[in-house]
Amino acid sequence: MKKKAKTEKTSSVFQEIAPQQERYVNPFTDFGFKKLFGSDISKDLLISFLNEILPDQKIATLTYKKTENLGATDLDRKVIYDLYCENGKGEKFIVELQKAKQSFFKDRTLFYATFPIQEQGQKGDWDYQLKAVYTVAILDFCFEDEHKKDVKVTVKLMESEKKTVFYDKLTFLYLQMPNFNKKEEELVSMEDKWLFVLKNLNKLAERPAKLQEKVFEKIFKLAEVAKFTSEERTAYNDSLKYYRDLKNSLDTSFEEGKIEGKIEGIAAGIAEGEQIGLEKGIMKEKIEVIKNGYENGLPVEVLAKLTNLTEVQVIQILKELGLK
């Protein structure tokens, strides 16, 4: 018997199915983010992620702290972090997921960072020595400034003239995920791989060959929606609906903004054209006054007053008319 020829099968790690059928959880949902990074079972994932994206970090252990700030005022107590952790050296880590642009977002991250600083205060004699505070913000948008094309934006307090770090215990790291566009074959470092997972996890049909490290084996197991309990699936669907509604409303606002911008541009062009036309008409009238007045013997200084031009301008016009 002849063996049947094997049909060549082409496959992709990216799935082409409806979003509601995604195999893996969307990390940009609140549920997905907490599922992957926010519990004791996934603490090693968070440690791996932070060690890769933060310079000079070698975190061995992490302790989750209360995400609600226990401040002194009502305003303070409204501060709620997505994730708040402390390593074995007492250094603090705020990890925030931000899905939409916010007014004064940079101010907000600075405000949040003050609370892990303040809580280190001690009563009685204290020398004010502080443990480092790190804020990591994973953004589903980009800043509209000189950093708008960067993937990573790292900020520390800097001495303005020498351009050196003045204080190294306060670090802000912003990851602008829309700017990370490496494909699987381009992944080299562990940082690349982590950013690839965050950007693409819910679009994947299977674990890519480039992501064979144990930490990614675990993340793909945790992220598989089919293995969620019914309660988890309900919570995830609610979180996913909120994320999609938010994204759709932002996309709609953006498109409306583009259309509005085009309309404003057209209107401005018409207005500019009308203004230019008006100015040309007025100038034409002034030239006629100068021509007729000069031919009737009026001096340059009088013509200048009549047309609200300078005498130099009047002389230049007369020269161009061939009258002077």
pLDDT of residue 266: 52
Q: Considering the entire predicted model, what is its pTM? A: 0.71
Residue 266 lies in a domain: no
Q: What band does 134 get if pLDDT is binned at 50, 70 and 90?
A: very high
User: pLDDT-derived band of residue 172, with 50, 70 and 90 as boundaries?
Assistant: very high
pLDDT at 55 over 50: yes
State the CB neighbour count (10 A cutoff) for residue 34: 17
Within a domain: residue 239? no
Residue 4: per-residue pLDDT: 47
Amino acid letter for position 27: P
| Dist CA 179 CA 216 (whole Å) | 22
Name the residue type at position 80: I
Residues 275, 297: Cα–Cα separation, whole Å: 33
What residues make up the domain containing 34?
A: 19-227
Task: Read off the pLDDT of each residue in 185-213 and give the average, rounded to a whole number.
Answer: 95
pLDDT given for residue 87 in this prediction: 95
Q: Write the pLDDT tens digit of every residue in 229-275.
A: 999 999 999 999 988 887 776 655 555 555 555 555 555 555 565 55
Residue predicted with more confidence, 198 or 101: 198
Three-state SS annotation for the chain: CCCCCCCCCCCCCECCCCHHHCCECCCCCHHHHHHHHCCHHHHHHHHHHHHHHCCCCCCCCEEECCCECCCCCHHHHCCECCEEEEECCCCEEEEEEECCCCCCHHHHHHHHHHHHHHCCCCCCCCCCCCCCEEEEEEECCCCCCCCCCCCEEEEEEEECCCCEEEEEEEEEEEEEHHHCCCCHHHCCCHHHHHHHHHHHHHHECCCCCCCCCHHHHHHHHHHEHHHCCHHHHHHHHHHHHHHHHHHHHHHHHHHHHHHHHHHHHHHHHHHHHHHHHHHHHHHHHHHHHHHHHHHCCCCHHHHHHHHCCCHHHHHHHHHHCCCC
In a domain? residue 309 = no
Summary mean pLDDT of the chain: 84
What pLDDT is recorded for position 3? 47
User: Would 140 be classed as within a structural domain?
Assistant: yes
10 inside domain: no
Q: Is residue 105 part of a domain?
A: yes
Higher-scoring residue by pLDDT: 273, 129? 129
Q: Quickly tell me which residue has 């949902």 as its tokens.
A: 29
Q: What integer is the mean pLDDT of 282-298?
A: 83
More confident site: 188 or 99: 188
Q: What is the pLDDT of residue 144?
A: 87
Query: What residues have CB less than 8 Å from 293, skipping those under 6 apart?
Result: 302, 303, 306
Check pLDDT > 50 for residue 9: no
Tokens of 13: 């790690």
For position 269, what pLDDT does the model report?
58
15 vs 53, more confident: 53
Distance CA 169, CA 155 (A): 11
Residue with tokens 């050296």: 89
Q: Which residues contact 184 (CB under 8 A, 6 or more apart)?
A: 13, 196, 208, 209, 210
Which tokens is 229 given? 């309990």
Q: How many domains does the chain have?
A: 1
The reply to whether 172 falls in a domain is yes
Distance of CA 314 to CAs 277, 282, 291, 319, Å? 21, 15, 10, 9
CA distance 29 to 175: 16
- Identify whether the C-beta of residue 116 lies closer than 8 Å to the C-beta of residue 133: yes
Question: Is 212 inside a domain boundary?
Answer: yes
Token pair for 156: 């520390």
pLDDT for residue 7: 44
pLDDT at 94: 94
Q: What is the pLDDT of residue 42?
A: 94
pLDDT band at 76 (very low <50, low <70, confident <90, very high): low
Least confident interval from 137-151, 174-188, 213-227, 282-296: 282-296
Q: Mean pLDDT highest for which of 50-64, 214-228, 298-312?
A: 214-228
Q: Note the pLDDT tens digit of each residue in 79-124.
A: 677 899 999 999 999 999 988 887 788 998 999 999 999 999 998 8
The predicted model gives 274-280 an average pLDDT of 62
